[in-house]
């Protein structure tokens, strides 16, 4: 295991906690067998593997907390693998309104999703709605996600969450969330990133509009002057049941493996993309809703620009049955993508649920020409006991120009806990 040394802080720090305080613990253990060709479908190969995921957390009723997340895997392709994603101790210092975290913990930012071997300090001023988080350590890569590793990095984040309750005759300004972050990454080269984010929300003082939310988040790499991520959106609620959303995003997905549904939606792109979307959602009744929207996408540093739209409906007319249907399209000059997706979920009993999803797509690409794809996904979950769940899943996508893609898996999940009441003085 890469992070075996991280257990030493846990062993050294935990015994010093108050022996009279009651300890609580909870966790999740997942055992899975899976066969698929998502890694190797381009060379017409497959893999079979079994893995165990574990997550465990212990905390007392005073100020201590410890957590560990790990995975072990045995596969036909790469043999035995294992890693520890998190293993840290956290101490709350109430007189200083602070928390100190030491060990390995996970972070997600414009660098990707990674583990950080180091320490973090969080200082909160709740009466002023302010918090400061300072962190530093050595970043380590995680598999199956866009990740990063390097010599070391450090940074800080300042958060302000203000309840303004400001009003005039047109609209109110109820909340204002502001975030500023600084980060420096060191490897063969040094890079510096600045992150700024802001969100305001409130209600309108008229009968035509109900509420709004405006948000913006950007990350700038200062050495190159390039914005690595940009997310912005405007939400307008005409009523409690209808919403207009205008959003713009510039990003690269953190996961290189799209879900079954993402593979049949043209919004998903494995690479850097800026996407402008306008959509409208409305619930006509308690059991029926629809959405429609348009979009503009730019890829390959803006050289490819496409336009498209999507429309969909969802019904929950029958209490135990949910149905949905979506149509999605996007055209890029000589390339285009048209997709149909049907989803369903049915609860047989209070202990079981099954979902069946069907999809069809017609894609034209300058790389591989025209490809037709038809996909089926089946999932089943059964509650064996109050804390044990069984999941079965399988999917198959048949292509005319590309290799077919398939996945089948069996998973057992155990949730366990031991909560102790706080001791009375």
The pLDDT of residue 40 is 63
Of 101, 70, 67, 102, give the one whose Cα is nearest residue 85.
70
Q: pLDDT band at residue 351, thresholds of 50, 70 and 90?
A: very high
Q: Which residue has the higher pLDDT, 425 or 259?
A: 259
Q: Which residue has the higher pLDDT, 207 or 86?
A: 86
> 10-28: string of b/e by CB count within 10 Å (b at 16+)?
beebbeebeeebebbeebb
Q: Residue 279: is its pLDDT beyond 70?
A: yes
The pLDDT of residue 60 is 87
> Distance between alpha carbon 326 and the CA centroid of its chain, in Å?
22
Of 4-18, 50-64, 237-251, 260-274, give the lowest mean pLDDT range: 4-18
The pLDDT of residue 288 is 96
Q: Residue ranges per domain, the chain?
A: 97-239+246-254
The pLDDT of residue 422 is 54
Q: Residue 280: is its pLDDT beyond 70?
A: yes
Q: Residue 89: is its pLDDT beyond 90?
A: yes
In the chain, how many H helices and how many E strands? 1, 22
Q: SS3 helix, strand, coil % of the chain, rounded to 5?
A: 5, 70, 25
Q: pLDDT band at residue 420, thresholds of 50, 70 and 90?
A: low
Q: Which residue has the higher pLDDT, 177 or 61?
A: 177
The pLDDT of residue 176 is 95
The pLDDT of residue 327 is 97
Q: Residue 6: is its pLDDT beyond 90?
A: no
Of 363, 360, 390, give the one whose Cα is nearest residue 377.
360
User: How does pLDDT run across 284-320, given as a tens digit for each residue?
Assistant: 999 999 999 999 999 876 678 999 999 999 999 998 9
Structure tokens at 204: 């309108």
Q: What is the DSSP string of 200-268?
A: EEEEBSSSS--EEEEEEEEEEETTTTEEEEEEEEEEEEEETTEEEEEEEEEE--S-SS--TTGGG-TT-
| 51 vs 72: CA distance, rounded Å | 6
Q: Residue 376: is its pLDDT beyond 50?
A: yes
The pLDDT of residue 11 is 42
Determine the average pLDDT of the residues in 84-112: 92
pLDDT-above-70 percentage for the chain: 91
């Amino acid at each position: 295991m890469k992070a075996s040394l991280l257990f030493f802080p846990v062993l050294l720090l935990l015994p010093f906690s108050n022996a009279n305080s009651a300890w609580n613990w909870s966790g999740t253990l997942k055992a899975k067998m899976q066969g698929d060709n998502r890694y190797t479908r381009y060379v017409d190969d497959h893999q079979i593997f079994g893995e165990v995921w574990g997550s465990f957390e212990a905390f007392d009723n005073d100020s201590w907390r410890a957590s560990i997340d790990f995975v072990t895997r045995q596969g036909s392709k790469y043999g035995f693998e294992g890693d520890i994603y998190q293993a840290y101790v956290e101490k709350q210092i109430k007189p200083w309104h602070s928390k100190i975290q030491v060990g390995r913990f996970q972070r997600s930012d414009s660098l990707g999703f990674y583990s950080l071997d180091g320490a973090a300090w969080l200082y909160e001023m709740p009466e002023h709605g302010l918090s400061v988080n300072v962190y530093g350590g050595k970043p380590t890569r995680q598999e199956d996600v866009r990740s990063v590793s390097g010599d070391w990095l450090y940074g800080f984040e300042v958060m302000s969450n203000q309840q303004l309750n400001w009003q005039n005759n047109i609209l109110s300004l109820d909340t204002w969330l502001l975030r500023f972050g600084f980060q420096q990454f060191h490897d063969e080269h040094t890079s510096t990133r600045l992150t700024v984010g802001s969100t305001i929300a409130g209600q309108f003082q008229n009968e035509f509009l109900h509420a709004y939310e405006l948000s913006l988040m950007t990350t700038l790499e200062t050495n190159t002057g390039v914005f690595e991520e940009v997310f912005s959106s405007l939400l307008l609620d005409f009523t409690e049941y209808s919403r207009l959303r205008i959003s713009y995003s510039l990003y690269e997905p953190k996961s290189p493996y799209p879900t079954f549904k993402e593979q049949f939606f043209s919004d998903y792109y494995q690479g850097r993309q800026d996407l402008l979307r306008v959509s409208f959602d409305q619930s006509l009744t308690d059991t029926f809703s629809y959405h429609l929207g348009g979009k503009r996408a730019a890829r390959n540093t803006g050289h490819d620009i496409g336009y498209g739209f999507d429309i969909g409906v969802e019904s929950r007319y029958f209490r135990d049955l949910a149905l949905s249907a979506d149509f999605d399209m996007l055209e890029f000059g000589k390339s285009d993508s048209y997709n149909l997706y049907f989803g369903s979920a049915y609860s047989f009993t209070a202990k079981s649920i099954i979902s069946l999803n069907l999809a069809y797509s017609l894609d034209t690409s300058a790389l591989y020409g025209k490809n037709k794809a038809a996909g089926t996904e089946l999932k089943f979950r059964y509650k064996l006991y109050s804390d044990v769940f069984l999941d079965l899943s399988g999917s198959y996508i048949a292509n005319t120009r590309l290799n077919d893609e398939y996945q089948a898996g069996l998973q057992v999940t155990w949730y366990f806990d031991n909560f102790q009441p706080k001791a009375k003085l």
